[in-house]
Chains A and B, each alone.
Chain A
Amino acid sequence: GEDVEQSLFLSVREGDSSVINCTYTDSSSTYLYWYKQEPGAGLQLLTYIFSNMDMKQDQRLTVLLNKKDKHLSLRIADTQTGDSAIYFCAGSSEQKVTFGTGTKLQVIP
């Protein structure tokens, strides 16, 4: 099965940019996703990128995909306190979505 790894924790100051990184092993993933989970809540789909794309921008969010290095990143511009949450990257292949280990983003006011 696929392994998807993320760093456990990231702390940034309000107004700065956050970059959350993800590495994966299965290059056959059709889509790669970023989900946000606030405490006690379900997962909110933030954005996704098709595997033949290198970059996708959606308002404050920028997703970069490096297929050669199997590396996915999510950049959040002008990070706000409301962005504090756990962020999961995920890849889909053959009906299954495999989630990364999750990165807890702490935004310091």
Chain B
Amino acid sequence: DTEVTQTPKHLVMGMTNKKSLKCEQHMGHRAMYWYKQKAKKPPELMFVYSYEKLSINESVPSRFSPECPNSSLLNLHLHALQPEDSALYLCASSQGTAGEQYFGPGTRLTVT
């Protein structure tokens, strides 16, 4: 099973809302990632978790708050977002932090 699942598929939220994106993998991978992808652009790394600990934060604004409750789950908590945060949010996982990453289908986020 090389599947990474993400929920919801689509999310529309206002600038005052609080919502969460969820990601799950059951491949026993110990590294998990959040990426942001704008239209016609490559994914941009946001956060890296290694063995359930945050190892990289790419200077992401605090309105994005990641959480790794266990080795299979990764959440991204959203609060007070801006319209420019509208994008496809991709989760990925890998065996370690140097190997190939497997991506989920993404959550299409629209901030109104």
Partner-B contacts on A (CB < 8 A): 30-31, 33, 35, 40-45, 48, 88, 92, 95-97, 99-102
Contact = CB atoms under 8 A, between A and B. Distances in A.
B74 to A, nearest CB: 14
B101 A97 contact: yes
Given A41-B106, A45-B100, A45-B102, A97 B90 contact: no
Interface string B1-25: 0001010000000000000000000
Contacts of B50: 95
A30 to B, nearest CB: 5
A42 B104 contact: yes
- Would you call the interface of chain A mostly helix, strand, loop, or mixed? strand
Nearest to A97: B101
Interface in B51-98: 55-56, 90, 92, 97-98
Contacts of B90: 42-43
A64 B67 CA distance: 38
Given A95-B55, A96-B48, A101-B42, A45 B101 contact: yes
A99 B43 contact: yes
A100 B102 CA distance: 17
Nearest to A95: B97
A31 B104 contact: no
Nearest to B106: A42
B56 A95 contact: yes
Contacts of B101: 33, 45, 97
